[in-house]
Amino acid sequence: MASELTAALAQLAKEKNIDELYLLERLEQSLAKSYQNVLNLDWDARVTIDRDSGRIIVYEMVGKGEPDEETGEYPEYEPRDVTPDDVSRTAAQNAKAVIMNIVREAGRQQIYREYANRKGELVTGTVLQVTNDFTILKIREGVEAELPHFDTKRNPNERNERPDNERYMHNQRLKALVIDVRDPSNIETNARGENTRPAIVVSRTHPDVIRRLFEIEVPEIYDGVVEIKSVAREAGVRSKIAVRSNENNLDPVGACVGPKGSRVRMVVGELRGERVDVIAWNDDPAVYVANALSPAKVSNVQIDADRHYATVIVPDDQLSLAIGKEGQNARLAARLTGWHIDIKSASLVARTAKPAASLLDDADEDFVRCEYVGPNGVRCRNKAREGSRFCGIHDAE
């Protein structure tokens, strides 16, 4: 029985790529705890498994000498053989549970080692299970990933990585971005129930999902000829990407859009209809901001580099298009460029006392403008209160 046990352990260690000595040591530790209770020992138990014959010996570690007054530890312990007759049967009963636990832990450690350096990669998986809080994807045999979509109001420590417009079905194939790999040995940082959840965490909302999809669909990006400089995304609704070409004769926007829009259409299809605007990056911030507000046509952009503000003047019929529904276009343009964008219609500029060339001159003696910028990227047009940088409405903010 003992030799059969060691042979089985050796075979299992080989199949699961687990160190055989580590497997035997864990089994010895588990058996020691079991025999401590089964034999009702007064002292701690220690178990050794002979590496050649597989013979199991149980010792009771009896303390010798006088114990330390502070720690209660004895200076030395003498092993006393207390091996029972049915030692192999008890070992077999413990081995199954111990081995299953070791194999599970070793599998998670192996997955962690394999994927810990692959954060930011796009993986393809098949939907295995969908719950209210997460979706389990099978990446390959024996490797699963979790796509969390928790209600973050009820579970503030969890994540929501699923776009609001997406729902998944069993066996559906998905592309997702690896954003985290849980370390199974770091128990302190693991969240609720993470030891029983897949180690790999993936996302469909991360901006780099779009970046990786374009790398797949556009060879020029993969080869480095075209570079994605910035991505701004509201997952499931709309995104903007800024691209530049490292070759003078290559149009970066055309390369990303593809013949008759074929390349960008593949990305949009993978994102379940999310609208994607591809715009040309420019090192001139005025041109860059104007491009970012596409598809709106811009008349003029004036830059205040010190405060990182851009005032954009658009024709009256382009104002709503430039701002977008609920300020979405202006908001995405501001994120994409990193500039605070204030959009004005041409008629409003014409009605103001200041000439258009001095719209950004808030240091004027007669009029100091409120510096509050709303969530839609539009700056407040009120006069700042004396001694304050904000108007009476936004002073408290």
Note the pLDDT of residue 14.
78
Note the pLDDT of residue 90.
64
Average pLDDT rounded to a whole number, residues 121-128 = 95
Note the pLDDT of residue 114.
87
Q: How confident is the model at residue 377 (pLDDT cuts 50, 70, 90)?
A: low
Q: How confident is the model at residue 386 (pLDDT cuts 50, 70, 90)?
A: confident
Helix (H, G, I), strand (E, B) or coil at 125: strand
Task: List all residues 6 or more positions away from 124 whose beta carbon is below 8 Å from its beta carbon.
Answer: 139, 173, 174, 175
Span of 96-100, 214-218, 295-299, 300-304 with lowest mean pLDDT: 96-100
Note the pLDDT tens digit of each residue in 174-186.
999 999 998 887 7
Note the pLDDT of residue 329.
95
User: In Å, how far from its chain's centre is CA 139?
Assistant: 16
pLDDT at 89 over 80: no
- Give me the chain's average pLDDT, please: 85
> The tokens of 341 are what?
């964008």
Note the pLDDT of residue 365.
53
Span of 164-168, 173-177, 362-366 with lowest mean pLDDT: 362-366
**Residues 204/161, Cβ–Cβ less than 8 Å:** yes
All domains of the chain in start order, with CATH: 2-115 (3.30.1480.10), 122-205 (2.40.50.140), 206-281 (3.30.300.20), 283-397 (3.30.300.20)
Q: Regarding beta strands 134-140 and 122-130, do their DSSP bridges make them parallel or antiparallel, or are they unpaired?
A: antiparallel
**Cα-Cα end-to-end distance for the chain:** 77
Average pLDDT rounded to a whole number, residues 100-127 = 87
Q: How confident is the model at residue 189 (pLDDT cuts 50, 70, 90)?
A: very low
Note the pLDDT of residue 11.
81
Note the pLDDT of residue 155.
87
pLDDT at 355 over 60: no
Q: How confident is the model at residue 96 (pLDDT cuts 50, 70, 90)?
A: confident
- Pick 382 or 46 by higher pLDDT: 46
**Residues 204/176, Cβ–Cβ less than 8 Å:** yes
- Pick 137 or 40 by higher pLDDT: 137
- Pick 150 or 104 by higher pLDDT: 150
Note the pLDDT tens digit of each residue in 46-85.
988 887 777 888 899 988 888 887 888 888 888 998 888 7
Span of 183-192, 272-281, 324-333, 369-378 with lowest mean pLDDT: 183-192
Helix (H, G, I), strand (E, B) or coil at 201: strand
pLDDT at 362 over 60: no
pLDDT at 20 over 50: yes
Note the pLDDT of residue 91.
64
Dihedral, 287, 288, 292, 298 alpha carbons, nearest 10: -10
